Amino acid sequence: MPTAKRLKKGGKGGSESKSLKKTETARPTAAEIEGQSEFAQLAKQHWLKTTTKRTAKVKVKNDVLKREIWNALEKEGFQYKSLLVLEGLQILESYLWPGYSEDSSNLHVLLVALITNIKARERLETWSIFEDRPADFSALFRRILSMTLDLTLSLPIRTHLLSFMIYAFQSLDCGIVRKECAPLVSISIWHNLSTELKRDTKLESTPHLRKTWRAASKRYDSADEDTKARLRFDRAWLYTLTLEFLGMIYEPQRNSEHTIYVERFVEFITDLQSQLPTRRYVNTLLQDLHLVTAISMSPMFIDEDNGLLRKQWKLLCHYTYFNINDQTGAQLSRNEAYDHHCQALAKLQRVALRHFKEKLTVLALSNYGSIDKRNELMSLLEPLTEDELVQLARHLELRTEFPALSKVVSIDRNFLMEMLVNTFERRPTFQENLPSIAPTELELFDQDLVRTDGYDGSHPLAIPKLNLQYLSVGDFLWRALTLYRSETFYGIRKDIEDAVKRLRPDTRKSGDTGFAGFSRMALPISRPSILEVVPPLVGEDKPSAVRAEITLDFRRLADTIRRDWDSLRPDDVVFLVAVDAAAPPPLADGTAPISEAQKLGVVSVRAAEIIQIMDDKGRSIRDPGEYLNGGGRSSTRRVQLRLDAETYKRDTDRVLKGSPDPYEQINLVVRRSGKENNFKPVLESIRSLTLSEVPLASWLHEVFLGYGDPAGATYKNLPNRAGKVDFRDTFLDWQHLVESMPGKTIEPGDDVSSSFGPPYVLELGVKAAEEPKTKLSKKRRRDAEPALLAEVETYKVSTYKPPNTGPYPMDAPKLNMVRFTPAQIDAIVSGTQPGLTVIVGPPGTGKTDVATQIINNIYHNFPEQRTLLIAHSNQALNQLFAKIVALDIDERHLLRLGHGEEELDTEGNFSKLGRVESFLKNRDRYLQEVNRLATSVGAPGAHGNSAETAGYFNSVYIQPAWAKFKEISQSEDVSTTDIVQAFPFHYYFSDAPQPLFPVEADRAAVLDIANGCYFHISKIFSELDDVLPFEILRRDRDKANYLLTNEARIIAMTSTHAAMRRSEIAKLGFHYDNVIMEEAAQITEVENFIPLAMQKPKGGQMALQRVVLVGDHYQNSPVIQNLAFRHYANLEQSLFSRLVRLGSPVIHLDQQGRARPSIATLYQWRYPNLGNLPHVEALKEFQTANAGFKYDYQFIDVPDYKGHGEVEPTPHFIQNLGEAEYAVAIYQYMRLLGYPAAKISILAMYAGQRALIRDVLNHRCAKNPIFGLPKIVTTVDKYQGEQNDYIILSLTRTSRVGYLRDIRRLTVALSRARLGLYILGRRSVFEACYELKPAFELLLQRPDKLALATGELWPSERLQTEEQGSTVAGEAVMEGVEHLGQYVFEMTNAKVKQLRAERGLPETEVVEVLEPVNEDDADVYEENGEEEDGEADAEVPEDTKVESLEAGDA
């Protein structure tokens, strides 16, 4: 938080100088935490004593708190860096909280609040620290509440306490916090309403309110004096705090401390208003206090320096007047909202006519439409005197005075007029106020957006937050649109800034702007030509289309860059930019900085969509590769563009008023990489959903919003629970069935008396639970655990003989061979049933296998239903799809939309276009079978000409023949031999395994074989029936759409593709019943939502029956570039993680089968009851040691290399040369021992380090066939969901822990390896980190110097031993990277000599393997290494995408 001392220097509006900002955001180094600071020495003396027993009672000395800690903090103004040092020294966990008691001093309590805020700001786990002593936490919380009202405390301290309360109200999922916060916003706060009459009116408006009020009064009356005092404090706390706030904003003498406090208070109130449980009673109180009016009339609001406050006020207005019933939570439709508004106006007119007939006759008799606008109301109320305005307000039950003790300026005429207008003016709904999704300079350089650039948590922001709960689905979509749009525009602005910076604009002698640099993502152009402006459609005032053209000059571009520009596809977005190097940057209002782009001279930005790209002769370039390879290629491109019509209309209107034409100034075109440039269709999808009335499925609605019973959407609580389910090949045998359902009763069906083999049909019967003796309250007490149902689940199991599917081996159904664990079976059972299923799958626990089996069960049990598969990445979707193909699912029912299908390792082609081609290819094959069948039955004619003729052939020849055979076979007089002779298709099946009918087969067996043969034939005609529409339809687009809407039953796509194509798919009439999401915890909440709303309702209801979310919230969350949107607005929240926080029932998969048990222990502490599957303990590869290494995992301490640890050659591009060299040396060593390169992956925590490792590999290994390159070198974030046998991991940081303190990333990093994990890092930095302690305590039980086992080759025969202190043959300890490098050098020499001797070549000296790399070259590593498209350090909080000017553009 900003401090008093610093704020006094910051100016009236709260803006800070750059030096102060740098001080505020400076972070402590590892040395400061480890012992080179006064606080570190103090910690070692008092709470980090190595000799103190952990069970000893901590005693806090008040003089130490006061003199050594508080005074030091106060002296420097409570600098964030100092508080971070204390937090890093575990002062809260090890000293303040263990030593807290009722007798603790106020300074003790304040320090607890300060450090809690630091943890919240750093996104660290906090409340769990207090859960062991709920009574003490309650006492602590009460003291903090009292201090928030203590005017003797300084404003910076009260601001810190207010931040504590903000954090508490954002953590209502925590029971101990919710228990303390709930009374502060209960119905009892209505004691503070202006009049009893107003309160009674409110209580009578909704039936249950009066009952709730009486219960609260009864609770107060029956309490003792101490409890009564507490209840009085609770109901007065928010009211008192608000009055103090009102007094502050009217304070004549203000400074930046006041501004910071006021901004935080508005954030707090906005948070309360944005969630129904806190808003329910608070909104009435705040409107009674005229808070919105009071803020807007205050001197602080009017102060020109307080731009942030004015923006916050707009957000507060949005929530205060949001069209929702505060009690029921029902969002009002536009008509309902207007009716509600008209009722208020009718009350105003009645009062005006009754009491002010002479002066307000016009107001009283006018229609509603003429009196609901601000100016009209003002003019109509103008005749009233101030006293009459007071009387009018009283008749309308509006507050006309504040308490005498309040510092609020008395209510004057202006205040009364504003208050009345605010109450009765009509406000547009949020749907009517949606922002544009076409970025211009006004949006990109909006100060709200620019203000987020430097976000460090010290100030609030005027942006909505994604909370645990939402007011309505529309409210959620509005927040998601606002934030997603802002995040997108932030990325666009950064890309434009980067391109312009590289181009280095300057002013030429002529006065024009020129470009001295180069960027592969931007090209200078002359102004665009407007080709066509199509007139508006009926009822619109903007053109229906605007087409323009620009010319690109490729003469100076390399072929690779030229190909990138030619690869732009129709509908891709480019940006037309006007840069004026001589233009002075605009002036800020003192509350937000100027963006880098504006400093560089960017004047205007217009987005445009590609229509087509042509060469200078007007030939369209559809295939860039073919065009470049052909003759006569041109170096000029004409690009036709589609401009945004609404923006174009605004531009032309401004030009008519004398403003310069922005299209005349454009001199630059900027493109973005494909992965980042799909923002427009995604924003359009979210916007159309926000404008629509698309409902969620009724059974999911309340759970999604966060209200009601979190378990209300699970299958056990739904009426449409399936009573009988065929689990087919889910269970492998009877023992598997019984083992998979512990605690449940398994009973054979009525027709059997003992165990039997699969397939199993389970009939789910539940014995009715006994009625509870006491009637439970309708209000769910979330503090209490849900009562256990007194029910016993009983499954009646039956079986059946699977139908014969044909005589050919290919006809045999594909069966599941996975022996699912009980937890996996629980997930499969739940996912097969209707409702919501949330599955938490730790690394290696078979999430994909579970999802696949759920899909398989749904496919066979509910053949009329369709399933939508969603995943975050193409890779995860491909893995899921490949497993689906391996099961007994007809490939004609599979469809894969979007890119990435080409990576599928399957024989079939499952893209939409590919499936059409596949249908037609299968058609030819099946028509050949029809011809063969016609020949076998002696039917003359061209029956195999088309699917249509084949259908006639089936009805005329095949079906009658089969009917005749069925008639013969059903006769009791016919023998088995006669049945075989009567079979009409002997000749057709002559190529099947013979004999077709075994001699010993009885009657039942013969009929079964015959039925199987007919099943095979029927499938041919069934397939051809499905092909028939593709013969009739002519256009490829119609064929593809028919496939999507009618034929496919399992449709797979990424979450991004779903968001981009949502409107298009919904318009086709696409309907589906089930949604299954893989990687659900890595998908943003709005992208979780869109797949649930990709169809139009049927009869006002969504057809959706199942939602299965599979993911792991203990691993990485969705990637958000902007720190403000990620942390402050919580845009990284997924629906999966929110449902877990809300307490929805989750199924934890609890046995991993990926890693050695020893490696799995490094992350098992993160998961409840995570065990190991038997094969990871039994198979030889998991028991055998890693050749050449003493340990299967080891943390290796890497000191400074050539005097350097981590370096930052360009901002946020973090590298560590020592660790890069060490990682490559280990890789070389492994390759020399015979490890396959494909089994080794090298991971880095930062993209800068990834680039450096790639360069070292290119320097040392790429051209040497002895080494080659590993399977992949990438960042930990990019490797989530992947695995390899051996992982070399570089932690990179040496000054501080960095973002690895987010243990989700640590979990990902430690869980990628199957057999070997070797971690490179700085021990002193990471072992002291509290959050990482469980993992590093295990890691550091082993030596921190690399221990080799020399003399071995891969694969080793040595068994891995876990005994500490044991030795292995040939053990050697590497003292550092130079030692290992020398060892590898000698091994390489020996290897080369051996190879030369084997080939009879003369000996030669080997070039030094570990040649030192000059540190001065480190900053150009990225320039030399190849970067993956769209991949940058922006995936991590502290390593955002900022490249050097030279990188990638040379």
Rounded Cα–Cα distance for residues 1178 and 1363 (Å): 19
Biggest alpha carbon distance in the chain? 118
Mean pLDDT for all residues in the chain: 86
pLDDT at 16 over 70: no
What integer is the mean pLDDT of 1048-1061? 91
How many C-beta neighbours within 10 Å does residue 482 have? 21
Rounded Cα–Cα distance for residues 1318 and 804 (Å): 53
Which residues have a Cβ under 8 Å from the Cβ of 1072 and sit 6 or more positions away?
A: 865, 866, 867, 868, 1051, 1094, 1095, 1103, 1104
pLDDT band at residue 1033, thresholds of 50, 70 and 90? Answer: confident
Closest CA to 731 of 762, 752, 753, 754: 762
**pLDDT tens digits, one per residue of 581-605:** 887 766 655 455 677 777 888 999 9
Cβ–Cβ < 8 Å for 428, 571: no
DSSP-derived letter for residue 1212 is: T
pLDDT band at residue 778, thresholds of 50, 70 and 90? Answer: very low
Percent of the chain with pLDDT over 90: 58
C-alpha distances (whole Å) from 964 to each of 958, 959, 983 are 10, 9, 9
DSSP-derived letter for residue 331 is: B
**pLDDT tens digits, one per residue of 495-545:** 999 999 999 999 888 888 899 999 999 999 999 999 999 999 888 889 999
pLDDT at 1435 over 90: no
Q: Work out whether strand 1371-1373 and strand 529-534 pair parallel, antiparallel, or are unpaired.
A: unpaired
What integer is the mean pLDDT of 133-150? 95
- The sign of the torsion formed by the CA atoms of 1115, 1117, 1120, 1126 equals negative
Rounded Cα–Cα distance for residues 1279 and 1054 (Å): 18
How many C-beta neighbours within 10 Å does residue 1069 have? 12
Cβ–Cβ < 8 Å for 1110, 1080: yes
Cβ–Cβ < 8 Å for 1075, 1092: yes
Choice between 1138 and 1103, residue whose per-residue pLDDT is larger: 1138
Here the tokens at position 1088 are: 């979780």
DSSP-derived letter for residue 773 is: S
Q: Which of 474-483, 748-757, 763-772, 952-961 has the lowest mean pLDDT?
A: 763-772
Rounded Cα–Cα distance for residues 1262 and 1270 (Å): 10
pLDDT at 1406 over 90: no
Rounded Cα–Cα distance for residues 984 and 982 (Å): 6
Cβ–Cβ < 8 Å for 185, 282: yes
pLDDT band at residue 229, thresholds of 50, 70 and 90? Answer: very high
Q: Which residues of 1255-1291 are buried (b: 16+ CB within 10 A; e: fewer)?
A: bbbbebbeeeeebebbbebbbbbbbbbbebbbbbbbb
Closest CA to 1431 of 1208, 1288, 1273: 1273
Q: Which of 224-233, 252-261, 822-831, 1311-1320 has the lowest mean pLDDT?
A: 252-261
Beta-strand ranges (E) seen in 501-568 are 505-507, 513-515, 522-524, 529-534, 545-553
Position 900 scores a pLDDT of: 58
Position 1379 scores a pLDDT of: 94
Q: Please state the φ and ψ torsions of residue 121, each to the nearest 5 degrees.
A: -65, -30
Which residues have a Cβ under 8 Å from the Cβ of 857 and sit 6 or more positions away?
A: 725, 726, 727, 728, 730, 828, 831, 832
Rounded Cα–Cα distance for residues 170 and 340 (Å): 31
**How many residues does the structure list for the chain?**
1450
Rounded Cα–Cα distance for residues 83 and 77 (Å): 11
Rounded Cα–Cα distance for residues 651 and 662 (Å): 7
Cβ–Cβ < 8 Å for 135, 147: no
What stretch of H or E contains 1317?
A: strand 1313-1321
pLDDT at 902 over 60: no
Question: Token pair 């605007």 is at which residue?
Answer: 546
Coil vs helix vs strand at 1068: coil
Cβ–Cβ < 8 Å for 1371, 1349: yes
Provide the whole-model pTM: 0.90
What integer is the mean pLDDT of 1370-1374? 92
Closest CA to 565 of 501, 610, 603: 610
Rounded Cα–Cα distance for residues 488 and 497 (Å): 14
Closest CA to 722 of 835, 873, 584: 835
Q: Work out whether strand 1284-1290 and strand 1240-1244 pair parallel, antiparallel, or are unpaired.
A: parallel
Cβ–Cβ < 8 Å for 706, 470: yes
What is the distance in angstroms between the CA of the first residue and the CA of the last residue of the chain? 43
Amino acid, res. 762: L
C-alpha distances (whole Å) from 682 to each of 494, 868, 1117, 1236 are 19, 18, 20, 42
Cβ–Cβ < 8 Å for 1108, 1055: no
pLDDT at 790 over 70: no
pLDDT at 1157 over 60: yes
Closest CA to 490 of 529, 439, 552: 439
Closest CA to 316 of 465, 456, 436: 465
pLDDT at 1416 over 60: no
What DSSP string runs through 201-214?
HHHHHSHHHHHHHH
**pLDDT tens digits, one per residue of 113-139:** 999 999 999 888 899 999 999 999 999
**pLDDT tens digits, one per residue of 1248-1305:** 999 999 999 999 998 888 999 999 999 998 898 889 999 999 999 998 888 888 889 9
pLDDT at 256 over 60: yes
Closest CA to 1212 of 1442, 1421, 1020, 1399: 1442
Rounded Cα–Cα distance for residues 285 and 238 (Å): 9
Rounded Cα–Cα distance for residues 1299 and 1301 (Å): 5
What integer is the mean pLDDT of 1129-1140? 94
**pLDDT tens digits, one per residue of 425-449:** 999 888 888 988 999 999 998 888 8
What integer is the mean pLDDT of 637-665? 92
pLDDT band at residue 773, thresholds of 50, 70 and 90? Answer: very low
Where helices occur in 206-275 by DSSP H, the ranges are: 207-221, 225-249, 256-273
CA 1348 and chain centroid, separation: 41
Position 663 scores a pLDDT of: 92
Position 409 scores a pLDDT of: 64
pLDDT at 1417 over 60: no
What integer is the mean pLDDT of 1009-1018? 94
pLDDT at 22 over 70: no
